[in-house]
């Protein structure tokens, strides 16, 4: 445990100092990549919240990731067009409005999906969350006012006070604050009574029932909270690339987020961050010299699943969790 | 009226195709507890093998044979990888199947390239047939329906009346007990997996001439097949059949009629938009309705 805290502290300092380092070495161009790592770390932490801690394997996180992205892009679209969403709601280009909106809409979408999906267990849950995410994917591809297959691009990133978010380093810090905020909330939730019930329901649903607690509401809240995290990540991602498209909702994105969690190490808040750095970093590196990143990633995944049981974090700390 | 009949038949045709994919998926899931995301890749392999052989030899039967052999071989290869994973957590298995999807997709793009392949309908079946007086329907689609129905009867017979079928049913109910009774369950896994792969490959070959054969073609079908087996109940062949027909029918009918229907009271452009949205979500709404009503699926014995 102590080693994990050490890694957390080192990682925190590293992430805090990185953009400064890029200025000193003249490699500011990688700030976008660093932001991407931070954003996928948020998505991975949110998935680990229900998957690692709740024992619910959701394969639909790309759906909520995409919803978050689309909320930001649609609000920005109505702001530029000076039109109203469904004739009612004004658009906005302010991060103060669009980020909470994305999180809330993500949670609102997750509520019915979670309510239905949580009626099943285990592998059925995997398929159902995947199917609902695919439904969201088709939903957005058929929205022709918002670009359908082509997606919706944003003229600029959102505005936040007087900060220049167009600068990658500034946007990086905004994303990092979001990561820390979400991770802090997860940490508090997991160390509360709520977290204990969630862990208990993962290890033995029957015992939790015997204690007199109904697990369903806890699981539903965890599912919605997790989806909100994914929407937050999606909202930041749309801002980063100034674009929201159905590609964000592809089921392979769900697989990638899951791969980040597993490669990094589940049931810790640092594992997903390490996983994201490894995954996004090597993705960018490989894509620069080969078109067949998919083949490489696939082989790595299959190999890692066969030969390892735990992610990098557990390899580093030497912890033997079950 | 004629149009409705035609679309119903199209729905049945999609349904039997989905059934060929769902059958293997539901058995593998029921017996091995494995959600095989790479099952769609077997469908894709079948279609590619068929398209290639059809273009080389011109023989449709040879194409079907090639698809079946290629898919079964790919299935055997996949199963030999999963064999090392049965003791691992479900999450590892799931992610390994996801890894295989990426490997197969990129592998296909290396071998065949990215542009889609096209397969022609065999000459004998290229025309239309008169299924009812004055009602014509493409012969090839009709042949798919017949082939699907024949195959499902054969499959039903194999599962209900043969020894191996008995073992499969027993495995779907309680694998531990079956292996305690001295049945080599690993061998049964291999047989079931390859049979499922074979059916998926066959579906790919049959559907090849109707759509373009391209990378990722299996994935959308796979997710519809997931919806079908959730509706039908995991591990049940009969459930997979009913689920596939229901999902396939609903998908086809809403796709062709939703916007027309909405045009009667909405302006055309809005109607097309809303119709597109409706037809894309209907299969999942059916799934949601079944989940609310019977979370274990229509035909599950659990």
pLDDT digits (tens, 9 = 90+) for A184-199: 999 999 999 999 999 9
Q: Please identify among residues 20-49 of chain B the ones whose CB lies closer than 8 Å to any CB of chain A.
A: 29, 33-35, 37
The pair of structure tokens assigned to A242 is: 């100034």
Q: What is the pLDDT of residues A225-239, one digit of tens each?
A: 999 999 999 999 999
Whole-structure pTM value: 0.87
What is the value of ipTM here, to two decimals?
0.86
CA torsion A264→A269→A274→A276, rounded to 10°? 80
Q: How far apart are CA A47 and CA B35, in angstroms?
A: 19
Q: How far apart are CA A36 and CA A136, in angstroms?
A: 23
- Reported as a single tens digit per residue, the pLDDT across A53-104 is 988 999 999 999 999 999 999 998 888 877 777 767 777 788 888 899 999 9
Q: Between A51, A145, A301, which is nearest B99 by CB?
A: A301
Q: Is A130 exposed, middle or buried (0-12, 13-18, 19+ CB in 10 A)?
A: buried
Dump strand ranges (E) for chain A: 84-85, 89-90, 152-153, 243-244
Residue A322: band (very low, low, confident or very high) from pLDDT cuts 50, 70, 90? very low
Confidence of residue A317 (pLDDT cuts 50, 70, 90): low
B281 touches chain A (CB under 8 A): yes
Q: CB count, 10 Å around CB of B160?
A: 12
Spatial distance between the Cα atoms of B47 and B64, rounded to a whole number of angstroms: 9
pLDDT confidence of residue A13: 80
Q: What mean pLDDT do residues A25-48 have? A: 87
Flag if B35 and A127 touch (Cβ within 8 Å).
yes
Q: Does A143 touch chain B (CB under 8 A)?
A: yes
Shortest distance between the Cα of A156 and any Cα of chain B, in A, equals 28
Residue B287 contacts A, CB cutoff 8 Å:
yes
- For B209-253, what is each residue's pLDDT tens digit? 888 888 888 888 898 898 899 898 888 888 899 999 999 999 888
pLDDT of residue B186: 86
Chain B residue nearest residue A55, CA to CA? B91
Regions in chain B scoring below 70 on pLDDT: 301-302
Residue from B252, B250, B248, B289 nearest B22 by CA: B248
The predicted pLDDT at position B20 comes to 93
What stretch of H or E contains A233?
helix A215-241
Strands (E), B23-153: 128-132, 135-138
Residue in A143, A295, A297 nearest the CB of B107: A295
Distance, in Å, from the CA atom of B5 to the CA atom of B280, rounded to the nearest integer, reads 21
Give the model confidence (pLDDT) of A137-153 as tens digits. Answer: 988 888 877 877 888 88
pLDDT at A309: 66
| Residue scoring higher pLDDT (A158 or B162) | B162
Give the pLDDT of residue A311: 65
Query: Residue A321: its pLDDT value, please?
Result: 46
Interface check for A141 against chain B (CB to CB < 8 A): the answer is: yes
Average pLDDT over chain B, rounded to an integer: 87
3-class secondary structure per residue, A262-286: HHHCCCCCHHHHHHHHHHHHHHHHH
Contact A57 B91 (CB under 8 A): yes
HSE-up of residue B104 (Cα within 13 Å, Cβ side): 29
Residue A1's pLDDT band (cuts 50, 70, 90): low
Helix axes A61-81, A95-117, angle to 10 degrees: 140
Note whether A253 and A233 are within 8 A (CB).
Answer: no
Residue A46 has pLDDT above 90, yes or no: yes
């Amino acid at each position: 445990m102590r080693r994990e805290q050490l890694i957390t502290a080192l990682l925190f300092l590293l992430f805090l100092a990185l953009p400064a380092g890029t200025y000193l070495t003249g490699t500011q161009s990688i700030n976008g990549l660093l932001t991407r790592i931070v954003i996928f770390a948020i998505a991975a932490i949110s998935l680990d919240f229900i998957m690692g801690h709740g024992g619910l394997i959701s394969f639909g996180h790309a759906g909520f990731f995409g919803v978050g992205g689309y909320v930001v892009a649609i609000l920005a679209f109505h702001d530029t067009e000076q039109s109203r969403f469904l004739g009612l709601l004004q658009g906005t280009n302010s991060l103060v409005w669009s980020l909470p909106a994305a999180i809330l809409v993500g949670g609102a979408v997750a509520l019915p999906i979670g309510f239905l999906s949580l009626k099943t267990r285990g592998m059925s849950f995997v398929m159902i969350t995947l199917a609902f995410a695919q439904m969201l994917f088709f939903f957005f591809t058929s929205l022709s006012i918002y670009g359908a297959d082509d997606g919706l691009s944003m003229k600029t990133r959102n505005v936040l006070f007087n900060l220049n978010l167009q600068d990658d380093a500034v946007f990086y810090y905004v994303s990092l604050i979001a990561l820390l905020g979400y991770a802090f909330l997860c940490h508090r939730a997991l160390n509360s009574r709520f977290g204990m019930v969630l862990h208990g329901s993962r290890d033995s649903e029957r015992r939790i029932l015997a204690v007199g607690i109904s697990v369903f509401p806890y699981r539903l809240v965890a599912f919605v909270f997790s989806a909100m995290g994914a929407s937050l990540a999606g909202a930041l991602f749309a801002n980063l690339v100034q674009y929201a498209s159905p590609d964000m909702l592809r089921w392979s994105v769900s697989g990638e987020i899951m791969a980040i969690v597993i490669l990094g190490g589940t049931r810790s808040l640092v594992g997903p961050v390490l996983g994201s750095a490894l995954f996004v970093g090597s993705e960018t590196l490989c894509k620069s010299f080969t078109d067949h990143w998919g083949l490489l990633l696939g082989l790595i995944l299959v190999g890692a699943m066969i030969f390892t049981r735990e992610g990098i974090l557990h390899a580093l700390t030497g912890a033997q969790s079950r | 009226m004629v149009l409705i009949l035609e679309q119903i038949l199209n729905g049945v045709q999609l349904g039997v195709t989905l059934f060929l994919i769902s059958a293997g998926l539901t058995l593998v899931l029921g017996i091995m507890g494995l959600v095989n995301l790479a099952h769609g890749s077997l469908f894709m392999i079948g279609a590619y093998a068929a398209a290639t052989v059809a273009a080389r030899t011109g023989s449709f039967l040879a194409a079907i044979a090639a698809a079946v052999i290629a898919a079964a071989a790919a299935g055997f290869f996949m199963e030999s990888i999963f064999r090392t994973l049965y003791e691992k957590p479900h999450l590892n298995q799931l992610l390994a199947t996801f890894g295989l999807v990426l490997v197969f997709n990129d592998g296909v793009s290396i071998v065949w390239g990215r542009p889609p392949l096209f397969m022609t309908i065999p000459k004998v079946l290229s025309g239309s047939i008169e299924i009812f007086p004055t009602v014509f329907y493409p012969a090839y689609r009709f042949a798919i329906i017949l082939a699907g129905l024949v195959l499902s009867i054969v499959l039903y017979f194999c599962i209900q009346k043969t020894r191996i079928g008995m073992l499969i049913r027993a495995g779907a109910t309680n694998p531990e007990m079956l292996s305690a009774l001295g049945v080599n369950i690993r061998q049964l896994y291999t047989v079931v997996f390859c049979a499922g792969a074979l059916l998926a490959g066959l579906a790919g070959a049959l559907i090849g001439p109707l759509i373009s054969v391209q990378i990722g073609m299996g994935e959308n079908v796979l997710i519809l097949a997931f919806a079908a087996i959730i509706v039908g109940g995991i591990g049940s062949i009969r459930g997979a059949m009913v689920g596939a027909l229901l999902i396939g029918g609903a998908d086809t009918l809403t796709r062709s009629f939703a916007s027309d229907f909405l045009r009667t009271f909405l302006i055309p452009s809005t109607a097309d938009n809303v119709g597109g949205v409706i037809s894309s979500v209907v299969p999942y709404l059916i799934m949601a309705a079944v989940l609310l009503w019977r979370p274990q699926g229509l035909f599950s014995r659990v």
